[in-house]
Amino acid sequence: MSTSSVQAGLPLSTIPIFTTVQAYREWRQNAFLDQKTVGFVPTMGALHDGHLALVKRSLAANDLTVVSIFVNPAQFAPHEDLATYPRTLPNDLALLADLKHLPSPSSPPRTPSALFLPSVQEMYPSGISQEVGRQSGTFVEVKGYGEQMEGRSRPTFFRGVATVVTKLFNIIQPTNAYFGQKDIQQGLLLRRLVTDLHMAHPAPERLHIVPTARDPASGLALSSRNAYLSEAERRTAPALYAALQAAARAWDAGESKARCVRGAVDVLEAAARAGAAEGVEVKVDYVEMNDPGTFEVLGEEARREEAPVVLSAAVWVGRTRLIDNIVLGDTRGMIMG
Amino acid sequence: MSTSSVQAGLPLSTIPIFTTVQAYREWRQNAFLDQKTVGFVPTMGALHDGHLALVKRSLAANDLTVVSIFVNPAQFAPHEDLATYPRTLPNDLALLADLKHLPSPSSPPRTPSALFLPSVQEMYPSGISQEVGRQSGTFVEVKGYGEQMEGRSRPTFFRGVATVVTKLFNIIQPTNAYFGQKDIQQGLLLRRLVTDLHMAHPAPERLHIVPTARDPASGLALSSRNAYLSEAERRTAPALYAALQAAARAWDAGESKARCVRGAVDVLEAAARAGAAEGVEVKVDYVEMNDPGTFEVLGEEARREEAPVVLSAAVWVGRTRLIDNIVLGDTRGMIMG
């Protein structure tokens, strides 16, 4: 395998870069014949410690690890931030090149094996419009699982996610795939997809959801979109996680869903008042509790002593939309330990 | 490999039968490790010589051949013939068991290697309703390719086909797959799907469309639904192919699309008058000419000297809906020779 990759328009990289499906397939075929396991971390780039935590999990559990960077037009609505979404490829490559895992003291260290970096044309051979009504070609939809929570605020988001991840799984053919808990609905919806479509790579139980990486001091969930925040907004943003924690404490104290959600909104409203003094506008999009199996919204008076519940929220901080969630109750089999 | 298969409720079969994805996957995994090619013929059962022609193609070109029988609820609208669709499993098994291909005089004959016979629950783990509005779980749609011709008369038909074939391809993981030209729109749409979703098994060029098998005397396209026809209807039905041939002759003589379609409809109207005398009702659903790449309807005055054109029709003969098509012009790369 080549140790460097120099391609037209691409930065120098110690990790082999594949830009076409065909070139990747040859590499993957050899891995199959060698009976190597392949871990996969799909990303939209602008890598941060949350992504790196996923890659580390993959390095530890697989012979080979593939990372993809693809900003997927189909999951952005026309009014959303496709054009301004942060693109930091040289930095992404440097971060990935620094990752190492030692399977044992005597083994050579494992590093990311390949980066898949396709063009929009390569991923969407029939072309792609951000306007659903003007799209043609093949799309995948997980009915009944994409209309709540994030899907309610972003109606065609999960259709775009389901479509691009189906393509990526068919291309990469991973033994294991890793997703962050920050996008928990995405992870659970993709498990449904992999089950329903009977995908062989990955098998449903090989699609892993890894706990959200957070800023150690404030608890703010790491996100590529944090790069949009001004300094004052950055000081306000941790209120999102604080709000979820307040609701979780209320839940643990035996309160109803309605009171837990009220507790979270109180924290966010206090942050909004404090932020206003600094010129920061905070707007709550939603705070909700859902069943992790069906995403069904819990009733206002709901209490579940045993079954897990997803507590999630989205807020606008200035012009940046941030999401976060925590799982209440028993998360076994749902989130990686 | 076992040479007989006795399973609860299944007829005796010399061909191994798999009813679960898991059991099939183990068999397929061995074929991968042995580097055997696997041909695949998906069917809804009620096998006739048209299906057997597909299986023969597969036997001739692959080390192993898998046939599936699954009557897919998702491609029948609630008012359509799901309940009465012919189910003839013992006969299907006998027909398949009789097929042999001799790769060379000294080689052992090739016979079908496996039959995949899943339950509805196995194929649709999230359940399945024939009413689109009540469905939940994962569905696949080929936008812009499923609304014309058959898709216009049967609006959710191709969504059901695309979904079940995506599942079947993910399960069977065929090297080559074989479809009949009688359902030409299905074959071409599935090539689009395999291309767009970047499926590895089969690759787009490994999805083969095999010329329609016909009754030698009348030219009637073989179809499982021919079993619905009364004796008098059976005498009327060949008018469908005769109508397509009349239109093709007009096309070859340099006529416009409008006149070719008119020529086909004339033949069908004459058949309707003759049939009426015997109590057979004939109703034209459509006669149309479409671009085989985009399925776009040709303009009324269209003439294409070089590019291929799909001439297709659907008629009701009594309570049975029959379809047929022929390709005008150069079919290279589109239909198997």
pLDDT for the residue numbered A245: 97
Characterise B39 by phi-psi region: left (phi > 0), alpha (psi -120 to 50), beta (else): beta
Cβ–Cβ gap B200/A124 under 8 Å: no
Q: Which residues of B touch A (CB under 8 A)?
A: 21, 25, 32, 123-126, 135-145, 162, 166-167, 170-171, 173, 192-193, 195-200
Cβ–Cβ gap A138/B198 under 8 Å: no
Cβ–Cβ gap B196/A141 under 8 Å: no
Task: Please give the C-alpha separations between residue A145 and each of A22, A139, A188, B120, in angstroms, as whole numbers.
Answer: 33, 16, 9, 21
Task: Please give the C-alpha separations between residue B2 and each of B5, B109, B113, B315, B319, in angstroms, as whole numbers.
Answer: 7, 17, 11, 45, 43
pLDDT band at B5 (very low <50, low <70, confident <90, very high): very low
The residue written with tokens 């990526």 in the block is A168
Buried b (16+ CB within 10 A) or exposed e, A102-139: eeeeeeeebbbbbbbbbeeebbbbbebebeeeebbbbb
Q: For B28-66, how does the pLDDT look when each residue is reduced to its tens digit (9 = 90+)?
A: 999 999 999 999 999 999 999 999 999 999 999 999 999
Structure tokens at A247: 């609701």
CA B83 distance to own-chain centroid: 19
Angle at A233 between CA A227 and CA A235, to 5 degrees: 105
pLDDT for the residue numbered A75: 96
| Rounded distance between C-alpha atoms, residue A127 and residue B7, angstroms | 47
pLDDT for the residue numbered A67: 98
pLDDT for the residue numbered B6: 44
8 A C-beta contact, residue B188 and residue B50:
no
pLDDT for the residue numbered A168: 98
| Rounded distance between C-alpha atoms, residue A88 and residue A122, angstroms | 20
From the list A25, A136, A144, the residue facing B136 with the nearest CB is: A144
Task: Please give the C-alpha separations between residue A80 and each of A23, A84, A287, A316, B68, in angstroms, as whole numbers.
Answer: 32, 9, 21, 13, 44
| Rounded distance between C-alpha atoms, residue A280 and residue B73, angstroms | 54
pLDDT band at B126 (very low <50, low <70, confident <90, very high): very high
Cβ–Cβ gap B167/A198 under 8 Å: yes
Chain B residues with beta carbon closer than 8 angstroms to that of A173? 200
Residue B81 has pLDDT above 80, yes or no: yes
pLDDT for the residue numbered B303: 73
Q: Which residues of A touch B (CB under 8 A)?
A: 21, 25, 32, 123-126, 135-145, 162, 166-167, 170-171, 173, 192-193, 195-200
Q: How far does A292 lie from chain B, in Å, by closest CA?
A: 15
pLDDT for the residue numbered A8: 58
Chain A residues with beta carbon closer than 8 angstroms to that of B166? 197
Top residue of A29, A134, A198 to mutate, by most chain B CBs within 10 Å, is: A198
pLDDT for the residue numbered B122: 97
Chain B residues with beta carbon closer than 8 angstroms to that of A195? 125-126
Top residue of B72, B138, B168 to mutate, by most chain A CBs within 10 Å, is: B138
pLDDT for the residue numbered B44: 97
Catalytic residues of A: 51
Catalytic residues of B: 51
pLDDT band at B305 (very low <50, low <70, confident <90, very high): low
pLDDT for the residue numbered A44: 97
Q: For A91-133, how does the pLDDT look when each residue is reduced to its tens digit (9 = 90+)?
A: 999 999 999 999 899 989 999 999 999 999 999 999 999 999 9
Chain A residues with beta carbon closer than 8 angstroms to that of B138? 140-143, 162, 192-193, 196-197
Chain A residues with beta carbon closer than 8 angstroms to that of B136? 143-145
Residue at A267: amino acid letter: V
pLDDT for the residue numbered A331: 85
Could you please report the per-residue DSSP string of A175-230?
Answer: SEEEEEGGGHHHHHHHHHHHHHTT-SSS-GGGEEEEPPPB-TTT-PBP-GGGGG--
Residue in chain B closest to A166 (alpha carbons) equals B197
- CA A60, A65, A71, A75 dihedral sign is negative
pLDDT band at B12 (very low <50, low <70, confident <90, very high): confident
Residue B331 has pLDDT above 90, yes or no: no
Mean residue pLDDT across chain B: 93
Residue in chain A closest to B199 (alpha carbons) equals A170
Residue B302 has pLDDT above 80, yes or no: no
Chain A residues with beta carbon closer than 8 angstroms to that of B174? none
8 A C-beta contact, residue A220 and residue A249:
no
Residue B195 has pLDDT above 50, yes or no: yes
| ipTM, two decimals | 0.93
pLDDT for the residue numbered A7: 56
Task: Please give the C-alpha separations between residue A135 and each of A127, B111, B291, in angstroms, as whole numbers.
Answer: 8, 43, 19
CA B60 distance to own-chain centroid: 20
pLDDT for the residue numbered B306: 66
Q: For B137-162, how does the pLDDT look when each residue is reduced to its tens digit (9 = 90+)?
A: 999 999 998 889 999 999 899 999 99
Task: Please give the C-alpha separations between residue B116 and each of A27, B16, B109, B119, in angstroms, as whole numbers.
Answer: 31, 9, 21, 10
Domains of chain A in start order, with CATH, are: 17-210 (3.40.50.620), 224-328 (3.30.1300.10)
Cβ contacts of B30 within 8 Å, gap of 6 or more: none
Residue B4 has pLDDT above 60, yes or no: no
Residue in chain B closest to A26 (alpha carbons) equals B200
pLDDT for the residue numbered B174: 98
pLDDT for the residue numbered A146: 85
Characterise A327 by phi-psi region: left (phi > 0), alpha (psi -120 to 50), beta (else): beta
Cβ–Cβ gap A138/B196 under 8 Å: yes
pLDDT for the residue numbered A300: 81
Q: How far does B249 lie from chain A, in Å, by closest CA?
A: 34
Give pLDDT tens digits along chain A (337 positions): 343 444 557 777 889 999 999 999 999 999 998 999 999 999 999 999 999 999 999 999 999 999 999 999 999 999 999 999 999 999 999 999 999 999 899 989 999 999 999 999 999 999 999 999 999 999 999 999 888 999 999 989 999 999 999 999 999 999 999 999 999 999 999 999 999 999 999 999 999 999 999 999 999 999 999 999 999 999 999 999 999 999 999 999 999 999 999 999 999 999 999 999 999 999 999 999 999 988 999 988 777 666 789 999 999 999 999 999 999 988 888 898 7
Residue B105 has pLDDT above 70, yes or no: yes
pLDDT for the residue numbered B146: 85
Cβ–Cβ gap A166/B125 under 8 Å: no
Cβ–Cβ gap A137/B135 under 8 Å: no
pLDDT for the residue numbered B13: 85
Cβ–Cβ gap B142/A137 under 8 Å: yes
